[in-house]
Structure 1
Amino acid sequence: MNQRFEKVRQAIDAERLRKTFLEMLAIYSPSGKEEDIQLYLEARLIEAGFSVERQPVEEDRYNLHATMGSDTPRLYLIGHVDTVRAWDLDRYEPREDGDIVHGLGSADMKGGCAAMLEAWLAIAEALPPAERPSIGLLLVVGEEENGDGSVAFLEAYGPPSWAVIGEPTGLTACFAHFGYLEAHLVTTGRRSHSSLPEFGHNAVESMLRVLLHIWNNPLLENEKSEIVYSIREMSSSRAGFVVPDRCETWIDLHLQPEKDPAQLQEAMMRIASTADSAIPGLDLQVEFDFAAPGYSLGVENDLARSLPAIYESLGLQLRLDGFRSHSDGNLFFAAGAKPIILGPGALEAAHTPDEQVAFSEVCAAANIYAALCLAVDEHNSTDW
């Protein structure tokens, strides 16, 4: 790597990063209640001499947006500051166990956000303004719900050329991203006293039979299907000691980057339409509340070509893969950006009671982000 990166690398401060990370984890910031953590991050950026824009999303909710360099940023570092809600409000705060940091949002994705902030601060400390790359930093709200923070940014500014989004990938660089489809099923029955079920029609029982009908279709056969199928939530009418007359279920469907969510939606509708032949008295509604196509950027571009040398300089093994979950990357790609997903932590740890990340990975991510930001200036091709 070149001299400029060595200066920035020397400026990356592991102790400052640890302090930032732990302080971020100590701030409870579920979707919809992100203001406290945005106030903290805003203060850190202003303290470092940056002008920070609060971009409104809704009342008391806003993104933070900063840029450096003399030109329009070609690359943005993007992180979401919101988390899922705490499993236990007494246990959301951070806990260290050697190199492992536990805490709500540690992997998804306060580790990535802290690493991006540290990369940003190190570049500013190590390089005079004239030598800084033209890059952007975007800290968004609402990713865990509907992506409204990223939607607001894209509507106001349009897509950047490239985006690095710090979702947990174990530092694997994901130039491909799964698509996503959310299915919403409602069964309606007839209420009766619970001791006399023969006078009613149980909507929960109907729903369970619908789900088995869908599950048994070869399209969703777990061991062979390329579609990841997960029943996320189920709820029924609650009215005391009665046969329930309504049941709702939400299903997450993740599909390979090349698969079209619209085709999967049609297939799911066909499967559901045949359920009534096996379920007497079925009253079923199926809706698809959200769909996002996947994408594959390929690796024939300057950003991908920069990575082997970056990882080698840090003593890391470069791995490439597709990101299996849904993220704001889908929104940025649909708007015309080229987003790669790359961050510390494991996706399987996210949204769990024992969410965790290795602090060494957070430090490595800060170095990778800084190196990618500097690489922008080293390539003049249209790849950037």
Structure 2
Amino acid sequence: MPMNRASLDGSRTGFDPIEFLERAVSIETHERVDELREDVRSILGAHGHDPTVDATGTLVVTRGSGEPAVGNTDRAVSHIVLNTHLDTVSPHVPPEWGPDGDRLSGRGACDAAGALAAMLATFLTTELTSGRLTLALTPDEEVYSTGARSLVERADSPLRDADAVIVGEPTGLDVCPAAPGRFEGTIELGGEHAHAARPDTGNNAVDALAEVLLALRSFDDRDDVPGDHPQLGAPTLTPTVVQGGEATNQVPASARLTVDRRPVPPETPDSFEATLLDQFDAAVPSSIDVSFSFTDRPTPFFDAWSTDPDHPLVLTLSAASGGDVRAFGAATEASYFAGVAPTVVFGPGSLADAVGPVAHADREYVSIDEIHEAATALISATTALLAT
């Protein structure tokens, strides 16, 4: 641990976000988050808070009464939820300090232990004279987001009366009031087997992939597909996995193509599927059967979402952080929360830098200064929003 790293108001709270960050990154969270969650629970308990943990492993703790500031009964924000995730992608990469002690590398350093450290400091440090502040930490963000989905759906969810949600992800201290969604599904083509010496007697499903790929390339040119979004830009549709054929001397009767869709509002899974099948109906020979199905998963895919960039949450947090207001570059479970309350994504670290990928990469790291700056901005913004 580098020396001379002062804790953020540690004299009052006894909590040092940098010490916590180093410990958090040292814990393996790519398969289970129990150890890290219990560490957080212990810290909260030591400060007099009594968090709950639901069946999915989501930790929730709340401070404040939710009562409005004196003389202000119509403020826009009286309950803020701070959310980030506890899990990481594989494999575990242990923490390592940079040569100048100015940054910490390791799995989860920026995605999302950095945001967790800043949010925990915020929850413990913010002086609430009015309003309510909730910390909600979810597991399984990197796979199915079962924790986040349950948090939205359960009857006692703190999101029921939330006025603002801040989701911790690596944004480089920019405030992101929008993000693309993500759908994934498989196109199945059905033809008819035949001897490869007489291809004209069968219906070649693999050959029909040519028409399918061309149809995918022109899909976003349709008038009934959402165009460029003012915050998110254009949607994307990418073929990712292909399978087909059974024998090298046989006309293949089946082929499968998996596609990745990054939608922008107002596209939904249902509208995407209907439009895609209409596109294929005009492009693929009638001798080939075409169907589409979304990849089976226990939780819904992420819809694209956006929050008004002029909302007090966006303006106050961006003023506090000094960062830009822009769209987040990846799909996130903030999608679930945005349907309930105005939502932004914010945190220290970056998905990528000038050298290459950072989050999910072996060189993942976070700047120590950004941890302090993120916590300071969050404390300033939550204080201002809940007091005005």
- Give the TM-score normalised by the residue count of structure 2: 0.74
- AA partner of residue 285 (structure 1): S
Deviations 1:93-127 (A, max 9, x none): 2223243333222222221112111222333xxx5
- Native 8 Å contact 2:63 2:132 kept in 1: yes
2:95 corresponds to which residue? 94
For 1:366 and 1:192, locate their aligned partners in 2 and report how far apart those are by CA, in whole Å: 66
1:382 corresponds to which residue? none
Q: Give 3-state SS (helix, strand or coil) of 1:186's partner.
A: strand
For 1:201 and 1:375, locate their aligned partners in 2 and report how far apart those are by CA, in whole Å: 66
Equivalent in 169, 172, 179 of residue 170 of structure 1:
172
Post-superposition offset of 1:202: 8.0
- Native 8 Å contact 1:12 1:366 kept in 2: no
User: Identity of aligned pairs, percent?
Assistant: 21
Q: Give 3-state SS (helix, strand or coil) of 2:117's partner.
A: helix
Equivalent in 371, 379, 383 of residue 370 of structure 1:
379
Equivalent in 309, 317, 340 of residue 307 of structure 1:
317
1:350 corresponds to which residue? 359
For 1:242 and 1:14, locate their aligned partners in 2 and report how far apart those are by CA, in whole Å: 72
1:38 corresponds to which residue? 37
For 1:111 and 1:100, locate their aligned partners in 2 and report how far apart those are by CA, in whole Å: 11
Post-superposition offset of 1:19: 2.0
- Native 8 Å contact 2:44 2:51 kept in 1: yes
1:296 corresponds to which residue? 306
Superposed, which structure 2 residues align to 1:1-384 within 5 Å?
16-30=16-30, 33-57=32-56, 62-71=57-66, 74-86=79-91, 89=92, 92-97=93-98, 98=100, 99-123=102-126, 127=127, 131=129, 134-156=132-154, 157=157, 158-159=159-160, 160-187=162-189, 210-217=212-219, 219=221, 226-231=234-239, 233-234=240-241, 236=243, 248-259=256-267, 262-277=270-285, 282-289=288-295, 290-307=300-317, 309-311=319-321, 317-334=322-339, 336-348=340-352, 349-379=358-388
For 1:13 and 1:203, locate their aligned partners in 2 and report how far apart those are by CA, in whole Å: 65
For 1:189 and 1:13, locate their aligned partners in 2 and report how far apart those are by CA, in whole Å: 68
For 1:245 and 1:332, locate their aligned partners in 2 and report how far apart those are by CA, in whole Å: 43
Q: Give 3-state SS (helix, strand or coil) of 1:184's partner.
A: strand
Q: Please say which of residues 162-171 and 93-102 is displaced more in the overlay.
A: 93-102
- Native 8 Å contact 2:187 2:292 kept in 1: yes
- Compared CA separation, residues 132 and 218, structure 1 to 2 (3 A): closer
2:4 corresponds to which residue? none
- Compared CA separation, residues 255 and 48, structure 1 to 2 (3 A): same
For 2:360 and 2:245, locate their aligned partners in 1 and report how far apart those are by CA, in whole Å: 27
- Native 8 Å contact 1:258 1:296 kept in 2: no
- AA partner of residue 235 (structure 2): I
Deviations 1:160-195 (A, max 9, x none): 2211001222111112333333332234678999x9
Gaps of 5+ in 2: 1-6, 68-77, 223-227, 353-357
- Compared CA separation, residues 338 and 189, structure 1 to 2 (3 A): same
Q: Give 3-state SS (helix, strand or coil) of 1:108's partner.
A: helix
Q: Please say which of residues 147-156 and 288-297 is displaced more in the overlay.
A: 288-297
* Higher strand fraction (1 or 2): 1
Deviations 1:181-227 (A, max 9, x none): 3332234678999x99979988767657633541355539xxx9811
- Give the TM-score normalised by the residue count of structure 1: 0.75
For 1:308 and 1:286, locate their aligned partners in 2 and report how far apart those are by CA, in whole Å: 42
- Native 8 Å contact 1:163 1:340 kept in 2: yes
- Compared CA separation, residues 180 and 308, structure 1 to 2 (3 A): closer
For 1:196 and 1:345, locate their aligned partners in 2 and report how far apart those are by CA, in whole Å: 58
For 1:242 and 1:371, locate their aligned partners in 2 and report how far apart those are by CA, in whole Å: 69
Post-superposition offset of 1:306: 2.3
For 2:14 and 2:218, locate their aligned partners in 1 and report how far apart those are by CA, in whole Å: 51
Post-superposition offset of 1:74: 0.5
* Higher helix fraction (1 or 2): 1
For 2:305 and 2:312, locate their aligned partners in 1 and report how far apart those are by CA, in whole Å: 18
- Compared CA separation, residues 205 and 101, structure 1 to 2 (3 A): farther
For 2:47 and 2:346, locate their aligned partners in 1 and report how far apart those are by CA, in whole Å: 25
For 2:254 and 2:89, locate their aligned partners in 1 and report how far apart those are by CA, in whole Å: 27
Deviations 1:68-99 (A, max 9, x none): 1123770011001122232xx5xx22223243
- Native 8 Å contact 2:81 2:166 kept in 1: yes
Aligned length: 348
Post-superposition offset of 1:341: 0.9
Gaps of 5+ in 1: 1-6, 312-316, 380-384
Q: Please say which of residues 346-355 and 47-56 is displaced more in the overlay.
A: 346-355
For 2:364 and 2:282, locate their aligned partners in 1 and report how far apart those are by CA, in whole Å: 41
